[in-house]
Amino acid sequence: MEGKLFEGFELCGEVAESAEVCVIGSGAGGAVAAKELAEYGHSVVLLEEGSKWNKDNYPKDPMDVFRKMYRDNGGTITLGRPPVILPIGKALGGTTKVNSGTCFKTPNKVLRRWRREFAIEGVEPEQMLPYFERVEKMVSAAPVSREVMGRNNEVFLEGAKKLGYSCGPLTRNANENCHGCGVCTLGCPTDGKRSTDLNYIPRAVELGARVYCNARAEKILVKDGQATGVGGSILDAETGKPKSKFSVKCKVLVLAAGAIHSPLLLKKNRLANSSGQVGKNLRIHPGIRVTALFDQEIRGHLGVPQAAYVDEFANEGIMLEGVFVIPMLSAANLPFLGERAKELMFHYQNLASFGAMIMDETRGTIYQGPWGLPLIHYPLSDEDIKKASRAIAYAAEIWLAAGAKKVYPAVCWMPELTSIKEVRVLLQRYLKPSELEMMAFHPMGSCQMGSERRTSVVDPYGESWDIKNLFITDASIFPTCLGVNPMESIMAFANRSADYIHKMKLSPGSA
């Protein structure tokens, strides 16, 4: 069987396909499911709403990247106190195309919690380890080297080590083509970051999968309580407007549109929600960027933006990870306006930045909003606000230990701090949600898996309780926040689901 990658702007007229498996979404969950099932010998069609981008057609203007490689121009936002920016990728490779490539296994304590509290079978650390190892080999996961780490990350690690904190270089999906050019969240101009369009999807195509870009899934087809296919629109690559229709008939439908758009598609089709849990239990792993000003040049824009971590406070649900962005994004996250803001940006070369993320217990809800867009309600809980204030204080303390002259903690009543005494003030005062400036990149939990259909959307292997042969393989199935970047976890669980689909649904004699 010959595999093909079709791009929407090359397709004329309506498209009618059939395959054993149809996968919606080409990110961490969809691409892995497609490749693994194709490797088992099953026919696969993979649908992606976005376009294909690589080093040959990489957008040079950052604003073009947001328009072409992010959903809604990168402007997805949660509503609540505080509102939280939640950028989501839309391209071949999904959000793996525009994330930092950070690879973390699901923490053992999280897996054991899922087994203990949710009675989810087959997720003990020793059972999941082979899946993590398989994923890491496929994506070329390795610790960030000194050559591309960048001074921003090095200085923070120096501060953490002075304080005796547990820390080190992050593991990423990258190869020798990574030159540390500092624009991971704007795609990769060298193809050094190994997003799924550069490993899983090419392998799936080699094995016979047919991949359609610019194909928006709209209608899930169901007959006698079983998924039978999907229909939707082929989009114009430039305008995003529908220009023709497609349909795919299949035996198994895999939904991997992400933790925002998988539940939204189910809601639009009024499917798989007998538990009433579709779109609920949303976690977003919110974070705050803590910036510092040094006397010496840091040149934080050079090097891998997210190259180091401090996990000293992981037991508190706090993870600190590197983050640095281009000037147009940095300026928006600094505390001042007018001349003072301009003066600070003159010292851009002396700025450094690190992220402080919290393992949230807040539960948001996704509704179907106007024009079919998601309406996301996420009111940060009191406990998570306290956690966020501690996370900011820990990051500020490390910057000061590293020699920072000033720290900008993204708290409105304290635009800058210069001493440990001021850090203590931050810890002692109760913060209000409206005083925080937050962002998030890791939505999960909105179609959670479980052992009982009355309290969950899918079973422990990702199959809908209500619609047979409809599987979900993205972060929406996770019962709680992971506390770490979810990409590797999504991939490992998608691999696990693919094994189950092959054995239980598509092999001779299976049900």
**Residues belonging to the active site:** 442
Please enumerate in sequence order all residues whose Cβ is within 8 A of that of 314, keeping only pairs 6 or more positions apart, or say none: 107, 483
Please report the DSSP string for 25-79 in residue order: --SHHHHHHHHHHHHTT--EEEE-SSB---TTT--SSHHHHHHHHBGGGG--EEE
User: Using CA atoms, how far apart are residues 276 and 290, in angstroms rounded to an integer?
Assistant: 38
CA distance 345 to 336: 10
Rounded to the nearest 5 degrees, what angle is found at the Cα of 349, between the Cα atoms of 346 and 353? 110
| CB 112, CB 125: distance < 8 Å | yes
Taking the CB of residue 270, how many other CB atoms lie within 10 A of it?
9
Longest Cα separation, the chain: 73
DSSP for 456-472, please give it.
-SB-TTSBBSSSBTEEE
55-60 LR contacts (CB < 8 Å, sep 24+):
55/188, 55/189, 55/190, 55/191, 58/187, 58/188, 58/189, 59/187
Helix (H) or strand (E) holding 23: strand 15-24
Contact 68, 91 (CB under 8 A): yes
Sign of CA dihedral 376, 70, 180, 201: positive
What is the Cα–Cα distance from 122 to 157, expressed in whole angstroms?
37
Q: Give φ, ψ of 68 to 5 degrees.
A: -100, -25
Q: How far is the C-alpha of 75 from the C-alpha of 384, rounded, in Å?
A: 23
* Residue 435 identity: E
Distance CA 140, CA 135 (A): 9
Backbone phi, psi, residue 233, to 5°: -120, 140
Structure tokens at 469: 């042969």
Contacts of 421 (CB under 8 A, 6+ apart): none
Residues 94, 326, 444, 126, CA torsion sign: positive
Peptide bond just before 508 cis, omega within 30 deg: no
Candidates 17, 70, 74, 89; CA nearest to 47 is 17
